[in-house]
Amino acid sequence: MSARDAFGPNLRRIRIQRGISLDTIARETKVPVELWDALEHNDFSRWPTGLFARSYIRDYARLLDLDAEATVDEFCRWFPHGDRRALKIVREQAKIVGHPFEGDRDVPPVGVDVDRRDPTAKPKQALSHLLPIVNLFVRLRRTFGKA
């Protein structure tokens, strides 16, 4: 069994070992039992995507007293439902801000079993060109805030 196939069953095993029922999880999270059962069987056909999927996984992990962020990261690695860079979302955001979307650069294809986390990524450098502008606004705010 691959790590991807073992994701849901491992969560189920831990839940059973800790004596927590799906009804308890459903009651605490206000998410239907059917979705939690589907999670434990890696069936995400009725699951939401993006932020909501990650939030559900985070809540489930917290109720089992697991490392929530590590569980969410593993979920995002194996299933496109939790992908933070889903193509649909990127296209919609580009449309909102009026930016022409130029292909699938940096967006992994949906359904491909790859580790989408990039350990060499440096997000702070991506916005470093905006730092002088931000500093200017901070100084202006301080100046006019005192007036």
Spatial separation of the C-alpha atoms in residues 13 and 55, rounded to whole Å: 21
User: In Å, how far are 118, 120, 137 from 129, measured between CA atoms?
Assistant: 21, 19, 14
CATH architecture type of domain 1-119: Orthogonal Bundle (1.10)
- Tens digit of pLDDT for each residue in 31-62? 999 999 999 999 988 888 888 888 999 999 99
Ranges of each domain in the chain: 1-119
- The average confidence (pLDDT) of the chain is 78
How large is the average pLDDT for residues 87-116?
61
- CA dist 71 and 62 (Å) reads 10
pLDDT tens digits along 72-85: 888 888 887 766 55
